[in-house]
Copies of this chain bind each other. A is one copy, B any other.
Amino acid sequence: MAGTTRPEPAPGMMAFMDHPLDAAIALAPQADGTLLGHTHPAYANMVGPYGGITAAQALNAVLQSPARLGEPVALTVNFCAALADGAFTAQARAVRTNRSTQHWTVDLQQAGEVVATATVFTALRRDTWADDEHRMPEVPAPEDLPRARAAAPVAWLQRYEMRLVEGAIPAAWDGAEHHDSTTRLWVRDDPPRVLDHAALAALCDVFFPRIWRRRATPVPVGTVSMTVYFHADAAQLAATCSGFLFAQAKAQAFRGGYFDQTGQLWNRAGELLATTHQVVYYKA
């Protein structure tokens, strides 16, 4: 994912550093070994930044380290507090390096306080027997579906082109209970951008809160922990290019103020690129 290994953008696509995602995840090395980043207005959420961009920033602290071995396989991000608009410091530490694997811990700080922690596992991947046991469902092509209008006036929703297949955000907050929280959609960066692990990490948080789907009530929510398992290597992501991903998410349990969500993201070829889980605070 280092800048030098990135493919050239295709004609009509923005150069990498001009894309808001790249501007948002940029981290500048400091003399003390930490990295300096900034929240980016293009990914602003209602309070603080879009969680997916925080995940991509934490991952990028590892991706851009010269000490990194291999590609990301697992990422867990814990959201400790809403980030304030402005600068943050990231620190990535390789706590264990094995022959072909590496374990990292990351924290993001603002004003001397931890606002996010993360762990990242990277590995040199090998060609092996492979199978996508969780198959992509048969769904209409994105070209046959209308683009979803942003459901709220927040910036990050403009950064994704979404075409809903099933499970839209409620059209009315009428408190009508729905028995199934599933949402399925086609999604890609807007403007289009060649996929890589940082962009994919950000995409894993693209689903609106499952509790809103179930209860049609806009209760306060906030993701507290999110995990991404990357099944795709850099070559597979580059080959996916700027194409749509098919993404779905579904809750498993709601109780005591927290619910979880399990999700999958495939490319149009039906390759399962990432599986993702998160646990979310809700007030209800």
- The answer to whether B215 touches A129 (Cβ under 8 A) is yes
- The answer to whether A81 touches B98 (Cβ under 8 A) is yes
Stretch at the interface among A18-26, A115-123, A188-196: A115-123
Question: Of B113, B121, B251, which one neighbours A224 at CB under 8 angstroms?
Answer: B121
| A144 CB within 8 Å of chain B | no
- The answer to whether B253 touches A131 (Cβ under 8 A) is yes
**For residue A273, which residue of chain B has the nearest CB?**
B253
What B residues does A272 contact at CB under 8 A?
Answer: 252-253
- Bound form: Cα–Cα A114–B214 in Å: 42
**For residue A256, which residue of chain B has the nearest CB?**
B125
- The answer to whether A123 touches B252 (Cβ under 8 A) is no
Separation in Å of the A228 CB from the closest CB of chain B? Answer: 10
**For residue A94, which residue of chain B has the nearest CB?**
B114
Question: Of B95, B114, B254, which one neighbours A128 at CB under 8 angstroms?
Answer: B254
Question: Of B133, B215, B256, which one neighbours A251 at CB under 8 angstroms?
Answer: B133
Question: Of B101, B225, B231, B279, which one neighbours A255 at CB under 8 angstroms?
Answer: B231
Please count how many residues in chain A sit with their CB below 8 Å of the partner chain's CB atoms: 61
- The answer to whether B252 touches A275 (Cβ under 8 A) is yes
- The answer to whether B279 touches A260 (Cβ under 8 A) is no
- The answer to whether B73 touches A279 (Cβ under 8 A) is yes
Separation in Å of the A23 CB from the closest CB of chain B? Answer: 27
What B residues does A284 contact at CB under 8 A?
Answer: 128-129
Query: Chain A interface (Cβ within 8 Å of chain B)?
Result: 73-74, 76, 78, 80-81, 95-96, 98, 101, 103, 105, 107, 113-115, 117, 119, 121, 123, 125-134, 180-181, 214-215, 224-225, 227, 229, 231-233, 250-258, 260, 262, 264, 272, 275, 277, 279, 281-284
Given contacts A81-B96, A225-B229, A232-B255, 18 further A-B contacts (CB under 8 A): A73-B279, A78-B103, A81-B98, A96-B113, A101-B224, A103-B114, A126-B257, A127-B256, A128-B257, A130-B254, A133-B214, A229-B260, A231-B255, A252-B264, A252-B272, A253-B272, A253-B275, A260-B275
